[in-house]
Structure 1
Amino acid sequence: MSGLRRVMVANRGEIAVRIIRACHVAGVEAVAVYSDADEHSKWVRMADDAVHIGRSAAQKSYLDPDALLKAARATEVDAVHPGYGFLSESGAFARAIDEAGLVFIGPRPAVLEQMGDKAAARSAAASAGVPVVPGTDPIEDPADVPRLAAEIGFPLLLKAAAGGGGRGIRPVHDLDGLLDALPAAQAEARSAFGDPAVYLERAVANARHVEVQVLADDHGNVVHLFERDCSVQRRRQKLIEEAPAPALEEETRQAITAAAVRLAEHVGYRGAGTVEFLVDGDGNFYFIEMNARVQVEHPITEAITGVDIVAEQLRIAAGEALSMDQASIERRGAAVELRINAEDPERDFAPAPGEITVLRLPGGPGVRIDTGISQGDRISPFYDSLIAKLICWGEDRDQAYARARQALTEFHVEGVASTAALHRELINDPELAAGPVHTMWLEHHLNTGR
């Protein structure tokens, strides 16, 4: 690939494996980084070079920008791919990469900062003519809270302005509850995100979580790759995603994808990103945030469009134009992704670190497994507990689900507790199969023991 010779992957796990593979297919060398806990990991074995960046705790390794910059300089890379999580949406890290004369594979620092501030992102969406959930700017004076809450109406969400990934959100149902929650929410926001700012947003009842994948280059091209439904969530963490969103009216699909492209154009976006919306029962949709990075669930979009999203990220970083235009992107079939984690559903999804003593993975037509784990590896207590992503494609949604059911019968892991059994239960649930479900469906399912 012209313009890129060597890329450092500033991440770990399955996304590091995914990026290394894309680099090699593109003829680009890949440099891995690893902490003490990850010295013998799959992505380290796959990479052309690997650099130790610190201790096992993420703050001492994958979240240490100085260590990552030192590794990038030492290995003489052209670019840094941050994957998702960790520093992938840090404007400061992106700026440091730019100032080091390297390419940050993602949006420009100013856009990361704008999209990372939820209030600023809402303002940008509104300016672009994208519907937003009724809400407020960051609260400056607690005395204004009763008036602001009355203007929006309960129930409300109290949200951290710098939050993301479903974190920093508290539902409140009345004024007393809101006033009680405000100081704790501000303290939590400061602790988790380094910013105590919070704002209010109306809670949309029985909403679906629908997101649109976009790609944008430096040549003025912005396209969408259709939408995904991510409504099967527990505590706002996604477990199952599918593309396209089931039972979404075509008029709504066209409107929501156009809105996502409009926002990306408005902010001068570059790279891969996802614009996330809530969709109510009447088909009204509202912007909630933009994830300015590759998403965990990107494979299902690749499955229905045939577009290699990570390869496009590399093209964009190399200064090239997208390999497609909107008219050439076709949607075919349906796909579902199941996130299988080392967690124990019987113990309130407590993480279950330990050695993977047995790992048997499924196969067959339309079945893809993305994982950073091999048999004999350990699930570390220091990081996300993802074992594997199971992605199943079919000519239609029924076939995709049927392939997922079969694949789950073949998936076998020993040594740690996992959510595989829960996924077997969910993928056979008649309500989910009928679709669509709302974002609180799984919570209800778990609480009622269905």
Structure 2
Amino acid sequence: MPLPLYLLAVAVFAMSTSEFMLAGLVPDIAVSLDVSVGAAGLLTSTFAVGMIVGAPLMAVLARRWPVRASLLGFVFAFAVAHVVGALTTSFAVLLVTRVIAALANAGFLALALSTAATLVATDQKGRALAVLLSGTTVATIVGVPGGALLGAVLSWQATFWAIALLCLPAAFGVLKGIPVDAGETPQGTPAGSSLRHEIAQLAMPRLALVMLLGALVNAATFATFTFLAPIVTDTAGLGELWVSVVLVIFGAGSFVGVTLAGRLSDERPGIVIAVGGPLLLLGWVALATLAAQPVALLLLVFVQGTLSFALGSTLIARVLHEAASAPTMGGSYATAVLNIGAAGGPAVAAATLGTNVGDLGPVWVSASVTAVAMLVALPLQRFIAPRVVQAMRRPTRTLVE
């Protein structure tokens, strides 16, 4: 894989750390800014909504901008938002900075996904996506626990400063790794595309279907991931320190899953869906049944992290494949899918916490949503994941040649 992909992954790591670690900082932010915990929780949901809206919006705005300049602009805006957030004593200002950070994150990820697809041959998009998304999975392993620890030892503002500093190597990576004319014609617009044409691709049945499946699988993933803490402490009876351990285990599994999918999703996506999907469903049922047993919980969290991200990243790779005729908007479609799931899954899961299933309600939501996805995907497996044909394996000119 070309070096620019790994440099883009550094920026994805910084942004994903900011997105995920905020949940652990909400109580401290609430006390510091004199607001309720519920109000402080809006910082998380606002970010998710900003990502969903921001992906297509930023992609449209940046269509005629140079790719490298756009990526740098998004990194700069993201960094400034965190500096202002660290300095402010106003909750309203902090909320606005989260919206700005979300828009910058969405724009960067959408453009990075589209750019990654142009840096490699057609039959290597899945591997390129795996490298890029490794920034997200490493964030769950290292960034999120590290940010929570930094917040506990110093302050929540220290984590915002740390994220701003992480943007420096990310910006350097973009400068050094992305060609000035990446993905552009001399006129500045990707060849053969118009906004109307790219939006019209959403009506293509195969693209719409893989986007739906990607959102469902991601919703199942984050339904449980968001509410792992009470499962660890209340259901399994482990101490609070084990929450971070379990999150790291899940993150390690997600890294393994993305890595495995990167090797299979290009040439054999059908195998990932046909085998990984049913195993993922069984895993959610097993977790809901055995969560009270600590050893089983730790093992299943790793397995589910692996299967969730293997299947999820494969479906996102399919989105990029099917959106090949939307070179500037395709990345935003993939980004929107990721974040619709990340916002919708926890919202549905939260509604089950007050029912008789209690802390395990989110896991049953994950199982149910995965079951729906499989009922749709398995009968249509050959339609949504056709085997790679020989023509796709022909060498293509990439930006790094």
TM-score (norm 1): 0.26
Structure with higher Rg: it is: 1
| More RCO (CA 8 Å, sep 6+) | 2
- Higher percent of residues as strand: 1
- Higher percent of residues as helix: 2
